[in-house]
Amino acid sequence: MYRFRDPKGRVIYVGKAKNLRARLSSYFQDVRHLHARTATMVTTAASVEWTVVKTEVEALQLEYSWIKEFDPRFNVKYRDDKSYPWLAVTVGEEFPRVMVGRGAKRKGTRYFGPYSHAWAIRETVDLLLRVFPMRSCSNGVFKRSAQIGRPCLLGYIDKCSAPCVGNVSAEQHREIVDDFCEFMAGHTTAFVKRIEREMYAASEELDFEKAARLRDDLGAIRKALEKQAVVLGDGTDADVVALAEDPLEVAVQIFYVRGGRIRGQRGWVADRVDEGDTAKLVDDFILQLYAGAGPDEIPREILVPALPPDHATYEQLLSDLRGSKVAIRVPQRGDKKALQETVEKNAEQALALHKTKRASDLTTRNRALEELQEALGLDEVPLRIECYDVSNLQGTEVVASMVVFEDGLARKSEYRRFVIRGVDGQNDVASMHEVITRRFRRLLDEQAGSTERVTENGPMLVDPETGRPRKFAYAPGLVVVDGGPPQVAAAQRALEELGIVDIPVVGLAKRLEEVWLPGQEDPVILPRSSEGLYLLQRIRDEAHRFAITHHRSRRSKSMVESVLDDVPGLGEVRRKTLLKHFGSLKKLREATTDEIALVPGIGPRTAAAIKDAVAQAKGKTGVRVNTATGEIEEA
């Protein structure tokens, strides 16, 4: 175990390593080769100290306790600042009480959850109190009712058995509490069957009032169960974990499944502190969320997107804390895999919502633009930023995208796509030179052939013949290219060849999120918490997404045409007509021969030949997107 301290003696990072010499050597290398966050940590640290322990389990326990004690700034924090509600039953009291609680847990109390919303728990408890009429009042109300000898309102409407006035004994009330806890723990089938039997028995004995009350109880139970749908039929107790990542942040989502039912959900977004992969993120997550937890907080199974490097050690640690076997697994198929995909979608939506909220804040956007102006040494705040990305598949179907952000917000109406024609093979540098040349030659042409008109929004360049505004007659305040020094140099050279010297160019490299300026040997390293870096990353990612979408569309169309090349009697014109009619190879494959024959110029015989061609190509021709790299691949 080792700790980095800053000049004031504060612990800024806690870590563990089997080989301390090798681990520390990885930190003390050329700072330019380190991840930006790691470089900041190393340059901030003034000393390092270490502690030797006997086992890996002891190392995990010590790491957790140090993180809790020192709260080091460079350790990823997998605990958000929100207080999630729990359903609590004070089983340590003579007359236990059910309540909704937050914050630290107390001894002598049994907890269920956590849940996303307190109101959802209260609705469920309100439904179940008519079936399990246990105490839910505060200590003050309970003592006052006992003193005056009259129960509160809940006692009169049969949502409390009123132990305060002796309507039930402590033992009878304890039985109700135990039944409630068993129901909340997931053992619901027995209660439903028992109430059904009692209802039918009362009906046979002609006690219809009791039968009606039991029928209403049964309806309340079923309504409560509808709020907690069964997702795993084998009664699994598991925490299902999923992550959604980008280079700066990671969104965490957990579904708490008890007795096969989703009992609660939790999620938050944390800052990434290093370039570790998903397994490393899961490693940090398990350590901070479960180490030091009580036995009732640790499930029998933890489903994760990737196994941490020392998952066997974690299983041993958690099994010791729980008192029984705990398994950490990556689901491969079936209901558990489907559930984790659902949790992953929630994580992706949470990250997207977080980005949207962050981008929509005017103060944050202004700060981001001002940070870029200062960090890049710009004369003015870059109110209009254009970003370019090149996409290809092994040198084929090379395309480029241009996205536009104004005042920190996307202007999708001004996005543009480019098909690269003057470059042979896979040459991103030459492709970038071509797309920058074409875009800014268009800028010069439109500026030369435009007239200025004063409008409500200020001066605007318009076409003198049509009077329509020429959007691309405006120069950006900053050009961003996806890539490092070679791409930046190519873009700068293209601008200089056109005689444009007043538009700044930067590149954003994916690996370390470095910002490169033309002719500079070292990149500009923006802080990980910088709003300027966040804005650049968001613009770069949007350009990449736009390029990939265009590339996928062109690749799909070219594959449709290649499948139809050998169909007799089907020339280029008819192929394009067919492609325009169906739109994709998938839809063409799903069409019947008669539907194909309805396309103008396609007769029954040609339609049959087309149907045979696409059927033979099934499973051999297609495209897919590699989710890890975002690149287009042949399927």
Q: Which residue has the tokens 């992969």?
A: 277
- Tell me the C-alpha distance between 318 and 325, whole Å: 8
Closest CA to 245 of 289, 290, 275: 275
- Tell me the C-alpha distance between 183 and 101, whole Å: 19
What per-residue confidence (pLDDT) applies to 157? 86
- Tell me the C-alpha distance between 514 and 522, whole Å: 9
Q: 114 vs 496, which has greater pLDDT?
A: 496
Which tokens in the block code for residue 72? Answer: 């080091």
What per-residue confidence (pLDDT) applies to 624? 37
Q: Are 471 and 415 in contact (CB under 8 A)?
A: no
What per-residue confidence (pLDDT) applies to 411? 85
Same fold, 361-537 and 564-634: no
The 3-state DSSP composition of the chain as helix, strand, coil percent (nearest 5) reads 45, 20, 35
Q: Are 57 and 28 in contact (CB under 8 A)?
A: no
pLDDT of 55 above 90: no
Measured in degrees and rounded to the nearest 5, phi and psi for residue 99 equal -155, 165
Please state whether beta strands 238-245 and 301-303 pair in parallel, antiparallel, or not at all (unpaired): parallel
The CATH number of domain 564-634 is 1.10.150.20: yes
Confidence of residue 635 (pLDDT cuts 50, 70, 90): very low
Compute the mean pLDDT over every residue in the chain, rounded to the nearest whole number. 78
- Tell me the C-alpha distance between 200 and 205, whole Å: 9
Which tokens in the block code for residue 4? Answer: 């980095």
Measured in degrees and rounded to the nearest 5, phi and psi for residue 11 equal -75, 125
Confidence of residue 621 (pLDDT cuts 50, 70, 90): very low
Cβ-based neighbours of 222, under 8 Å, separated by 6 or more: 192
What per-residue confidence (pLDDT) applies to 494? 93
- Tell me the C-alpha distance between 151 and 338, whole Å: 48
Q: Return the SS3 of 526.
A: coil
- Tell me the C-alpha distance between 347 and 217, whole Å: 37
Q: 442 vs 450, which has greater pLDDT?
A: 442
Q: Return the SS3 of 605.
A: helix
CATH topology of domain 238-357: Nucleotidyltransferase; domain 5 (3.30.420)
| Residue 396 DSSP symbol | E
State CA 490 to chain mean position distance.
35
Q: Are 190 and 221 in contact (CB under 8 A)?
A: no
- Kindly report, residue by residue over 111-153, the tens digit of the pLDDT: 876 665 666 677 778 878 878 889 999 888 999 999 898 888 8
- Average pLDDT estimate for 553-582: 65
Q: Rg of the chain over CA atoms, in angstroms?
A: 32
pTM value is 0.48
* Range from 26-40, 93-107, 200-214 carrying the lowest mean pLDDT: 26-40
Closest CA to 178 of 230, 110, 115, 121: 110
Q: Return the SS3 of 227.
A: coil
- Tell me the C-alpha distance between 575 and 557, whole Å: 10
Cβ density class 450-463: b for 16+ within 10 Å, e for less: beeeeeeeeebbbe
Closest CA to 263 of 82, 122, 116, 88: 116
- Kindly report, residue by residue over 544-557, the tens digit of the pLDDT: 888 877 656 655 55
Structural domain spans, the chain: 2-70, 238-357, 361-537, 564-634
Q: Are 254 and 239 in contact (CB under 8 A)?
A: yes
- Average pLDDT estimate for 525-534: 80
Measured in degrees and rounded to the nearest 5, phi and psi for residue 394 equal 50, 40
- Tell me the C-alpha distance between 391 and 553, whole Å: 12
% residues pLDDT > 90 (the chain): 9
What per-residue confidence (pLDDT) applies to 503? 92
The CATH number of domain 361-537 is 2.40.50.1020: no
Q: Please tell me which of 51-65, 158-172, 236-250, 340-354 the model is most confident about, judged by mean pLDDT.
A: 158-172
pLDDT of 490 above 90: yes
